[in-house]
Amino acid sequence: MRPLPRKNGSTANGPYVVKRSQFAPVYLRLYESGELARRVVTAREKLRDCVLCPRECHINRLDDKFAVCRTGRYAVVSSAFAHFGEEDCLRGWRGSGTIFFGFCNLRCVFCQNYETSWLGEGRATPPEDIAAMMLELQARGCHNINFVTPEHVVPQILEALLLAVEGGLRLPLVYNTSAYDSLDSLELMDGVVDIYMPDFKFWDTEMALVYARAPDYPGAAQCAIREMHRQVGLLVFDEDGLALRGVLLRHLLMPGGVAGTKEIVEWIARELGPETYVNLMTQYRPTGKVNAATFPIINRSISDAECQHAFAAARASGLRRLDARH
């Protein structure tokens, strides 16, 4: 079923619409110029002394060694399918072609994909197989290719993308990330990604340490999101309300105010602008390593009052494009 028209600035007649006939995935230019092939060589070599995320582990992943992300030469793929649980502008009526990568460079204790991100559910997958997955998702009619948890596998994605483009891939690429990305990796993806979808998780360094084991997360996320916005700008849609290019910024609301929602929405409005497209996500629930004994503050869902306060803070900050489901 086609997504319904929106009332928050992203309707087919709104100011953030481009004609589908005038759109082509940005990576095609890199491919046609030969830069995409050169980018693959550069990215692969960076695996030799890996600083491809803010952890800067300096591990030779070409020798199939690893550190925090537990991913060596090949990316671990957990699943690939048409996802109908994403934002309306991504899932549309045929689904977002989602590829879930195993493991992660964060250690969020509340991770809702614990089996995938912590336990690495899936298998090490060479680029030829990932390319085949992308082409299969396109053949099934998916509206985009959605890379989930890509922060630690940028070289592997580029290897697969080159093969997929040669095989006829023409869908927009979605980079679905925690925002714990390095500028080194984002430089490799400049001119490759059409839609960046970062989740700005924590404002406070202490909260990031306690709940994600990454005290540098807030600073790294701010730098990464600024760079994503520089590359692709504000989110724009086609005539049917499907996202084509830009930043779709997510923020997971958490109980007890531990995420720093007020500070985050104010930063977004100030640094990226009030027209930034933002999804304030309300689906938090205790999972992963969270229980009453380990992390009592977040051992519950968020309350209605907390949701209302978060949305009020977003509106007060000046944000005008808040995602809504239909």
Domain membership flag for residue 8: no
Q: Does residue 5 sit within a domain?
A: no
- Do residues 128 and 157 make contact, with C-beta atoms less than 8 angstroms apart? no
Query: What is the mean predicted confidence (pLDDT) over 294-320?
Result: 97
User: Considering its fold, how many domains does the chain have in total?
Assistant: 1
Q: Would you state the pLDDT for residue 245?
A: 97
What pLDDT is stored for residue 7 in this prediction?
39
The alpha carbon dihedral of 218, 193, 246, 97 has a sign of negative
Q: Is the pLDDT of residue 13 over 60?
A: no
Residue 102 falls inside a structural domain: yes
pLDDT number for residue 120: 84
Predicted local confidence at residue 281, as pLDDT: 97
Q: Is residue 258 part of a domain?
A: yes
Using CA atoms of 161, 166, 169, 174 in order, give the dihedral in degrees to the nearest 10: 20
CA distance 238 to 12: 7
CA 219, CA 227: separation in Å to the nearest integer?
A: 13
Residue 318 resides in a domain: yes
Within a domain: 120 = yes
Domain presence at residue 14:
no
Whether residue 1 is predicted with pLDDT greater than 70 in this model: the reply is no
| Amino acid making up residue 94 | R
The domain in which residue 182 lies consists of 20-322
Rounded to 5 degrees, φ, ψ at 172 are -60, 150
Residue 2 lies in a domain: no
Q: How confident is the model at residue 15 (pLDDT cuts 50, 70, 90)?
A: confident
pLDDT band of 326, cuts 50, 70, 90: low
Tell whether the model's pLDDT for residue 4 goes beyond 60: no
Per-residue exposure over 34-47, b if at least 16 CB sit within 10 Å of its own CB, e if not? eebeebbeebbebb
pLDDT digits (tens, 9 = 90+) for 179-224: 999 999 999 999 999 999 999 999 999 999 999 999 999 999 999 9
State the average pLDDT over residues 60-70: 95
The band of 325, judged by pLDDT with boundaries at 50, 70 and 90, is confident
CATH of the domain at 137: 3.20.20.70
Q: Which pLDDT tens digit goes with each residue over 157-166? A: 999 999 999 9
Looking at the predicted structure, is the pLDDT value of residue 2 above 50? no
Average pLDDT, the chain: 94
Query: How confident is the model over 112-135, as pLDDT tens digits?
Result: 998 999 888 999 999 999 999 999
CB burial of 293-309 (b: ≥16 within 10 Å; e: otherwise) equals: eebeebbebbeeebeeb
pTM: predicted TM-score of the whole model, two decimal places: 0.95
